[in-house]
C-alpha cells in the first residue's frame, strides 16, 4: 500500500505561501498534519523605524501649513518632522538647521524612506539649512512648504545640488 503523506504538506505550504517584504519572515510551527510537525515561513508585521516614519507622515498630508506649527492643526517643515519622529519616540530638535546638525549626513544612495531631506541656501553642504522634509525615495518627500499650502507629497528635484540627506537610524 502506497502512502501519499507529502501531498497534504505540499498543499499546506502552498496555501500558506504569501508574498512577503524583504526581511519580514520568520519560522513558525504549523499545526500537526497526521502527527507530524512542519516548519513554514509566514509574514510578520515588523516595520523599521524608518518605514514607520515614511508611512505615518503620509497620513498627515492635507494638514495646513502654519509658521511655527507643530501639530496636525498646522505644521511648518521642521514642526512636521519633529512631530512625526516624536510619534515614534525619537525626540529631535525643533528647527531645520538644528535637525541637520543633529542628524548624520549620508548620500542620497544610502538614504532610506523616513530619513530627512535638508535644503541648503547654496550647494555648500555646510551652508545654512532653511527647509526639511521626510524622504520617501527617488526625488520625493512629504513636507510642509509654505503659507497657503498644506503638507503634501512632492518632488525636490528642483533643488538640485542644494539638498543633503540625514539619518539617525543607520
- Which residues are CB-neighbours of 149 under 8 A, at least 6 positions away? 65
- Ordered by start, the domain boundaries in the chain are 6-43, 49-167
pLDDT band at 45 (very low <50, low <70, confident <90, very high): confident
Cβ contact 132:117 at 8 Å: yes
**Chain centroid to CA 168:** 13
Fold entry, domain 49-167: endopeptidase fold (from Nostoc punctiforme) (3.90.1720)
Is the pTM higher than 0.85? no
Please state, in angstroms and rounded to a whole number, the distance separating the CA atoms of residues 29 and 9.
13
Residue 76 CB neighbour total at 10 angstroms: 24
Residue 122 has pLDDT above 80, yes or no: yes
pLDDT in tens, 134-170: 999 999 999 999 999 999 999 999 999 999 999 999 9
Coil/strand/helix, residue 104 = strand
Amino acid at each position: 500500500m502506497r502512502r501519499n503523506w507529502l501531498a497534504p504538506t505540499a498543499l499546506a505550504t502552498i496555501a500558506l505561501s504569501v508574498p512577503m517584504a524583504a526581511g519580514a519572515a520568520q519560522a513558525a510551527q504549523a499545526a500537526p498534519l497526521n502527527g507530524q510537525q512542519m516548519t513554514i515561513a509566514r509574514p510578520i508585521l515588523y516595520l523599521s523605524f524608518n518605514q514607520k516614519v515614511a508611512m505615518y507622515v503620509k497620513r498627515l498630508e492635507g494638514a495646513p501649513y502654519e509658521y511655527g506649527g507643530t501639530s496636525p492643526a498646522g505644521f511648518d517643515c521642521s514642526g512636521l518632522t519633529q512631530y512625526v519622529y516624536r510619534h515614534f519616540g525619537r525626540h529631535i530638535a525643533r528647527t531645520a538647521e538644528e535637525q541637520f546638525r543633529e542628524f548624520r549626513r549620508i548620500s542620497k544612495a544610502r538614504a532610506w524612506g523616513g530619513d530627512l531631506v535638508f535644503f541648503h541656501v547654496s550647494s555648500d553642504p555646510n551652508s545654512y539649512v532653511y527647509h526639511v522634509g521626510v524622504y520617501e525615495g527617488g526625488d520625493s518627500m512629504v513636507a510642509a512648504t509654505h503659507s497657503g499650502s498644506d503638507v503634501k507629497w512632492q518632488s525636490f528635484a528642483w533643488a538640485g545640488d542644494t539638498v543633503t540627506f540625514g539619518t539617525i537610524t543607520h
